[in-house]
Amino acid sequence: MANSKRKDPLRILFISIEGNTRSFVHKLSEYAQKAHKQDENIRLVESIEVSDASGEILMKDPFVTFVPTYLSGGNGIHNGYTEIMTEELRFTLEDEDNYKNCYGVVGSGNKNFNAQYGLTAKHYASKFDFPLIDLYELRGTSADVERVYDRLVAYQTEFEKKLEAFQN
Ligand SMILES: Cc1cc2nc3c(=O)[nH]c(=O)nc-3n(C[C@H](O)[C@H](O)[C@H](O)COP(=O)(O)O)c2cc1C
C-alpha cells in the first residue's frame, strides 16, 4: 500500500558557473538519499539547474533557490552591486511568476570578498521578498550540508502548511 504520509522532495532551483553550487546540491542529495534509506519519510532532494540552454522552466510546486555570488568589482558597500553571470537564474525566477512558489534563497560565495560575501542571495531575498535561509562558502562543509538540509525541511514544511491553509 502506498504510504500517504510520504513527504514531497525538497526542490532546488540553482545556477552554477564553476561547479561549486552543483557540488553542494549533489552533496545535499546524497545526504538525503542516505537518510531516506533508513526512513522513507525523510525528504529526498530534486534539483533543476538553470543554464543559458535550459529554455523556459515552470516551477509549480514549492522550491528553494541556490545562487552563488558574482558581482562586478567594488566592495559591496559603496559599489560592486551589479550581478554578473547568474542573471539567467533571476530571469527564471521572474518568468511565469516562478518566484511566488519560492520559499527562500541559499547563497554562497567566498569570504575573501568581505562585504560582498554572499551578496547576490541577499539581493534576491530583498528583491523577491523571500527569506535568506542560509549562506555557505565555496563547496560547503559536511556541517553546512546537514545544517542547510535541516533548514530547508523546516522552511518547505512551513511554506506547504501556509499553502494548504490558503487553499482550504
Ligand atoms: C569573477 C568572480 C567574481 C566573484 N565575486 C564574488 C563576490 O562578489 N562575492 C562572493 O562572496 N563571492 C564571489 N565569487 C566567488 C564565487 O561566488 C564562489 O567561488 C562560488 O562558490 C562559485 O559558485 P559556482 O562554482 O557554483 O559558480 C566570485 C568568483 C568569481 C570567479
**22, 87, 113, 134, best to mutate for ligand 1 pocket (most atoms within 8 Å of CB):** 113
- Identity at 32, one-letter amino acid code: A
Q: Work out the percent of the chain whose per-residue pLDDT is above 90.
A: 85
Give the DSSP per-residue string, 72-129.
Answer: -SS-SSSS---B-S-HHHHHHHHGGGGGGGEEEEEEEE-GGGGGGTTHHHHHHHHHHT
Domains of the chain: 10-36+63-167 (3.40.50.360)
pLDDT in tens, 43-97: 999 999 999 888 899 999 999 999 999 998 777 778 778 999 999 999 999 999 9
Who wins on pLDDT, 1 or 110? 110
